[in-house]
Amino acid sequence: MHPLDNVIWQALTTRQTGFAESFDQARRFPREVTSLGGFHQPTDRGYESLAGLVGVGGTVALFLEKPYEPRPGWNLIADTPLLQMVCENGGAPIPLRSGSASPILELKPADSPEMVELAALTKPGPFGTRTHELGTYIGIRYGGKLVAMTGERLKVPGYTEVSAVCTHPEHIGKGHAGTLMREVTRRIRERGEVPFLHVRQDNLRAIELYKRLGIAERKVFYLAVIKKT
Domain ranges, ordered by start, for the chain: 7-83, 84-218
Residue-level pLDDT at 99: 57
Cα–Cα distance for residue pair 147/168, rounded to 1 Å: 5
The angle that helices 176-190 and 204-212 make with each other, rounded to 10 degrees, is 50
C-beta separation of 223 from 63 below 8 A: yes
Report pTM.
0.93
The stretches in the chain having pLDDT less than 50 are 93-94, 96-97
Residue-level pLDDT at 216: 95
The topology (CATH level 3) of 84-218 is Aminopeptidase (3.40.630)
Residue-level pLDDT at 202: 95
Cα–Cα distance for residue pair 220/60, rounded to 1 Å: 20
Residue-level pLDDT at 90: 52
Residue-level pLDDT at 97: 47
For residue range 142-162, list pLDDT tens digits in order: 999 999 999 999 999 999 999
For residue range 72-117, list pLDDT tens digits in order: 999 999 999 999 999 976 555 445 445 566 799 999 999 999 999 9
